[in-house]
Chain A
């Protein structure tokens, strides 16, 4: 115990003297949480639309008005030549082409049926498919309006229509910030924790002080614990800063209790820092440790369920996410913040995280060799 006290004293002194670590702990959360949620949004806006209006009728004008009034589309180009519009897509001035053919109005009124043509630039796949869907919805809506206005319905509607009314549980206004901010907080904690831990032991290797440590009767687990605790405390400080920012800037007050969040975060940090220290014991210099931890972090974050829904991943990727601590933490954060889940609801998540912590830390102690 006494040994750990001296290691802790030394580590904390070094951390508080290192301005770059303090900056990382204080400024990174503020910038990430204040700036990112405004930009990282699932909704697609400002889609550049090129309209090829070959009809130039009252109806086509109404349709275009309705589309631009939706707020999702900017009318980037308006002409009657499809080739011209295609040119706009080629030069990246438009994302979507909507072609309104000649006789659109006539056919719609007379034949009760009209065809529109839509072409999209699929280089940005998300934008193209979401933009297409938005456009289709607007046109359908428009279609319905036209029908009620002009066409006399028979007494029984020949087509069965099912209307869907939806209600979003746990996030009634579908405020994506409620969804993103807890996730970004997790990523933030992961970034800072893993970075600090992974370069720490390796730094002592580079300076040469590790030799001096190895020649003392210090126990391996004393050393690892002494390294772990300071970063664990720092991690909890970052989490607290993050929670304060989400409260002040986004008004996010978790439905569940803070105890649940802190208990899980405490175990999560142990697991994560263990992994960082493990990387540190395997690396020879700080560059190696940084590259390795960035590589792992990329996988953790991309397969963590923040940017891509895990449910829509292929089976093999879902399998990987089961070994990703970030996935569990993001899930838990969302469960607690949006749904008000308690410790009992997240017990399996917690147990798995305990397992991660035990494995990574024992591995780190095992792979740290005092003798080569």
Chain B
């Protein structure tokens, strides 16, 4: 495999019984890229992402993340990635500082690193005063920004973000994307799913999943010209209309993923 790619996937597939959640997807993500992973509810985005993170075993196909094989080297992959799940990923009953300390600690970072990095993040997010506040007391937008900081605390090569801005107000979303750009400037590859098409415009490249397959993959501007659309919204609608899977599948996923 090529060293210029952060992620490669080749005919990656995941089946749950008869149901094909992810159907032969192939793509590459270059190092340092902001890669948007779009699709309607139940299109298979989260399942694909979970396979790449080593949380779910693929049914067939191959994939590498940070140069490691998802089948055999999934524990090595975990050292190189950060992940922010759809569900809130910080501990509500720990303080801001304690959460940072915990995640830094289990990635094997030194005490000095943890102290320095925590101070940096708190300063950066203007959360110095809230350092010793329990996370459950923070508003959602702050929590999401904090969760993102937690996901890149150990300075991974790649960070996976699963709908990080769901339920967040437009101002905070804008701030959140600023943080993503800053992380990208540090050389971190960003793999992000979203439902907001304005956010898709911020990505270097975008893939659109429909019914478990990747229907389109290109830069936002090229996609708009290919599909003769004024905005990413239109591109998405044109593609997503082809979907035959019902949205209720989303619930069905949840029960499987809770393991």
Interface string of A161-204 (1 = CB under 8 A from B): 00000000000000000000000000000000000000000000
CA distance A151 to B257 in the complex (A): 87
The 8 A CB mask of B84-96 against A (1 = contact, 0 = none) is: 0111111111100
In the complex, B3 has a CB within 8 A of chain A: no
Q: Which residues of B contact A17 (CB under 8 A)?
A: 93, 134
Which residues A1-46 have CB closer than 8 A to chain B? 2-3, 5-7, 9-10, 13-14, 17-18
| B259 lies within 8 A of chain A by Cβ | yes
| Among listed A83-91, A207-215, A300-308, interface-contacting one | A207-215
A61 at the interface (CB under 8 A from B): no
Stretch at the interface among A231-239, A245-253, A310-318, A364-372: A364-372
Which residue of A2, A206, A207, A216 contacts B78 across the interface (Cβ within 8 Å)?
A216
- List residues of B (102-121) whose CB comes within 8 Å of A's CBs: 102-103, 105-108
Q: Which residues of B25-82 have CB atoms within 8 Å of chain A's CB atoms?
A: 53-57, 74-76, 78-79, 81
Interface: A284 (CB within 8 A): yes
Which partner residue on chain B sits nearest A18 by CB separation? B93
When chains A and B are docked, how far (Å) is the Cα of A217 from the Cα of B108?
9
A3 vs B108: C-alpha distance when bound (angstroms): 7
A13 engages B75 (CB within 8 Å)? no
Given A18-B93, A207-B87, A207-B88, verify A215-B105 contact (CB < 8 Å): no
Contact of B105 with A6 in the complex, beta carbons under 8 Å = yes
A372/B89 in contact, CB under 8 A: no
Whether B83 and A215, one on each chain, are in contact in the complex, defined by CB atoms closer than 8 angstroms, is yes
Confirm or deny: B101 has a beta carbon within 8 angstroms of a beta carbon on chain A: yes
Residues of A within 8 A of B92 (CB): 207
Nearest chain B CB to A5 CB, angstrom units? 7
* CB under 8 Å from chain A, chain B span 202-259: 255-259
Cβ contact within 8 Å between B87 and A208: yes
B89 contacts which chain A residues (CB < 8 A)? 208-209, 211-212
Q: How many inter-chain residue pairs (CB < 8 Å) link A and B?
A: 91
Is A296 close to B, CB under 8 A?
no
Report if A218-B106 is in contact (Cβ < 8 Å); known contacts: A371-B55, A371-B56. Answer: yes
Question: Is chain A's binding surface mostly helix, strand, loop or mixed?
Answer: helix
Residue of A nearest to B53 (CB): A215
Q: Please report the C-alpha to C-alpha distance between residue A54 and residue B159 in the assembled complex, in whole angstroms.
A: 94
Q: In the complex, A218 Cα to B89 Cα: how many Å?
A: 16
Contact with B along A256-268 (1 / 0, CB 8 A): 0000000000000
Alpha-carbon separation in the docked complex, A285 to B254 (Å): 13
Question: B251 to nearest A CB, angstroms?
Answer: 14
A219 (CB) vs chain B CBs: closest residue: B75
Contact of B81 among A3, A215, A218 (CB under 8 A): A215
- Quick one: closest B residue to A282, CB to CB? B259
Q: Do B75 and A217 touch (CB < 8 A)?
A: yes
Residue of A with least CB distance to B84: A212
- A residues less than 8 Å from B201 (CB atoms): none
Residues of A within 8 A of B75 (CB): 217
Q: Which residues of B contact A218 (CB under 8 A)?
A: 106
CA distance A213 to B87 in the complex (A): 13
Decide yes or no whether B98 CB sits under 8 A from chain A: yes
Distance between Cα atoms of A10 and B91 in the complex (Å): 9
A339 within 8 A of B: no
Which residues of A have CB within 8 Å of B79? 217
B57 touches A211 (CB 8 A): no
Check A14 against B74 for contact (C-beta < 8 Å). no
A212, B83: Cβ atoms closer than 8 Å: yes
Complex Cα–Cα for A10 and B259 (A): 22
Whether the Cβ atoms of B107 and A209 lie closer than 8 Å is no
> Is the C-beta of A77 less than 8 angstroms from some C-beta in chain B?
no
> Which residues of the other chain, B, contact A2 by a CB distance below 8 angstroms?
105, 108
- B93:A370 contact, CB within 8 angstroms: no
Q: Give every chain B residue within 8 A of A10 (Cβ-Cβ).
A: 91, 94, 98, 102
| B258 & A205 in contact (Cβ 8 Å cutoff) | yes
**Complex interface: chain A residues within 8 A of B53 (CB):** 215
Report A-chain residues with C-beta under 8 Å of the C-beta of B86: 208
* List of B residues within 8 angstroms of A215 by Cβ: 53-55, 78, 81, 83, 85
Can you list 28 A-B pairs with a CB-CB distance of less than 8 A? A3-B105, A3-B108, A5-B105, A6-B102, A9-B102, A10-B94, A10-B98, A13-B98, A205-B259, A208-B87, A209-B87, A209-B90, A211-B55, A212-B103, A213-B106, A214-B55, A215-B55, A215-B78, A215-B81, A216-B106, A370-B54, A370-B55, A372-B55, A372-B56, A372-B57, A372-B256, A372-B257, A372-B259
Footprint of A on B, CB under 8 Å? 53-57, 74-76, 78-79, 81, 83, 85-94, 98, 101-103, 105-108, 134, 255-259
